Amino acid sequence: MPKNKAKGSKIERELFQKFVENDFRAVRVAGSGMMENAECDLIAGKKGNGKYAIEVKSSKSTTRYIEKEQIEKFMIFSEIFGLKPVIALRFNREGFLFLHPKHLRNSGKYLVITLEEAKKKGKRFVQFFE
Q: Which of 32, 58, 59, 78 is catalytic?
A: 32
Length reported for the chain: 130
Burial of residue 67 (CB within 10 Å: 0-12, 13-18, 19+) is exposed
107 is catalytic: no
H helix intervals, 22-114: 68-81
Amino acid at 125: F
Name 74's Cβ contacts closer than 8 Å, sequence gap at least 6. 39, 40, 53, 55, 85, 101
| Closest among 45, 44, 24, 107 to 71, alpha carbons compared | 107
- Is residue 121 within 8 A of residue 43, CB to CB? The reply is no
Active-site residues, by number, are 32
